[in-house]
Amino acid sequence: KYHRQHIKMKHIYKVAMTCEGCSGAVRRVLGKVPEVENVDIDMDAQLVTVTSDLDKDTVFEHIQKSRKACEYVRSE
C-alpha cells in the first residue's frame, strides 16, 4: 500500500502553520499512520520533521491531508 524503505529516515517539510490548531492538525494526520515513528514540529521555523520508514513522497501525501501548504525540504 505505502512505499516503505528498509531504514528509518527523518524527512523534513516546510508547512504553513499559524497556530497550535494548525500544528495539531498535522500531528493528528501523521499520528494515524502506523509507520510514522515520531513527529517533531518547530512552529517558529514552520518545519515538520517526520521519522519513518516511509518514503518522502508518501509522508508528503499524508501531510497534505491536513490541508496545510507543504513543501519537501530534505531527508537525513
**Tens digits of residue pLDDT in 27-45:** 999 999 999 999 999 999 9
- Give the CA distances from residue 10 to residues 20, 23, 38, in Å, rounded to whole numbers and listed in that order: 22, 18, 9
| pLDDT at position 4 | 67
Q: Does position 5 have pLDDT exceeding 70, yes or no?
A: no
- Whether the CB-CB separation of 4 and 55 falls below 8 Å is answered with yes
Full-model pTM: 0.91
38 forms beta bridges with 51
| pLDDT at position 36 | 96
